[in-house]
């Protein structure tokens, strides 16, 4: 049976950093993948360069979605790095609208203890929007890690990321690297945690932790199975 997958991220590039290899597997499986990008991912860092950077990132996002065979994606315009200035219920309601339309079964989103405030708020909003009410389509919720946000947080920001779910991406690691190259402007120079080499290293480490060449690691937050 084909899966209906919804990825909910704060910024364009989080989906590739966190679960790009897994999304490539969903693509090859013929699953339907939809992505929500909650912010434009630009404003707070370089307001003076808004126009040109935004264009580059939007183009990168389009190219990545094309390679992932993502036919539908939503660009919300919540304020970048300032999602704490928005009332949580407003964020929840936007996600609920998409859940209603798309009826996904699997959700991928941020870890609730990331350093980045947008990541934490998106996590909270997703967990609220996906509360397990009768007739909810969602049966699995997974959170992923994002280099230079997940491991840079303190325990008090929402708890450490402790993976308990691994996806083997050994056959997709090269293609994940290509996806990251599409976001070259967002990547830093090695040995920065957000360098392409560091992401590859993390995926190798996660794989090696469970006897694989490369893996993406997740925390399984909820799974409903009817046997």
Which parts of this chain interact with Zn ion (CB under 5 A)? 10-11, 14
From residue 21, alpha-carbon distances to 10, 17, 120, 141, 198 in Å are 18, 9, 22, 17, 15
Q: Residue 49 CB, nearest distance to Zn ion (Å)? A: 18
Q: 10 vs 95, which CB is nearer to Zn ion?
A: 10
Q: Residue 221 CB, nearest distance to Zn ion (Å)? A: 18
Q: Residue 10 CB, nearest distance to Zn ion (Å)? A: 5
**Is the distance from CB of 194 to CB of 147 less than 8 angstroms?**
yes
Q: Residue 116 CB, nearest distance to Zn ion (Å)? A: 5
Q: Which residue is nearest to Zn ion (CB)?
A: 11
Q: 14 vs 216, which CB is nearer to Zn ion?
A: 14
Burial 154-180 (b: 16+ CB within 10 A, else e): eeebbeebebebbbbbeebbebbbebb
Q: 68 vs 168, which CB is nearer to Zn ion?
A: 68
> Which residue is it, tokens 């660009």?
75
Q: 11 vs 26, which CB is nearer to Zn ion?
A: 11
Considering only the C-alpha atoms of the chain, give the largest distance between any 2 of them, rounded to a whole number of Å: 55
| Extended strands (E) in 106-149 | 106-110, 140-144
């Amino acid at each position: 049976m084909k899966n209906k997958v919804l990825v909910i991220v704060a910024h364009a590039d989080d989906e590739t950093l966190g679960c790009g290899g897994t999304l490539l597997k969903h693509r090859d499986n013929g699953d339907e993948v939809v992505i929500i990008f909650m912010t434009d991912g630009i404003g707070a860092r370089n307001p003076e360069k808004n126009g040109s950077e935004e264009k580059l990132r939007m183009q990168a996002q389009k190219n990545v979605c094309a390679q992932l065979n993502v036919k539908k994606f939503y660009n919300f315009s919540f304020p970048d790095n300032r999602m704490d200035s928005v009332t949580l219920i407003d964020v929840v309601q936007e996600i609920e609208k998409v859940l209603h339309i798309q009826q996904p079964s699997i959700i991928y989103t941020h870890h609730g203890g990331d350093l980045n405030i947008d990541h934490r708020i998106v996590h909270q909003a997703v967990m609220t929007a996906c509360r397990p009410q009768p007739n909810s389509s969602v049966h699995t919720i997974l959170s992923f890690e994002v280099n230079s946000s997940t491991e840079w947080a303190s325990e008090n920001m929402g708890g450490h990321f402790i993976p308990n779910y691994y996806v083997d991406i050994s056959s997709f690691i090269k293609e994940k690297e290509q996806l990251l190259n599409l976001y070259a402007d967002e990547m830093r120079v090695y040995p920065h945690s957000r360098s392409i080499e560091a992401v590859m290293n993390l995926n190798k480490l996660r794989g090696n932790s469970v006897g694989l060449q490369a893996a993406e690691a997740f925390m399984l937050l909820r799974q409903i199975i009817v046997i």
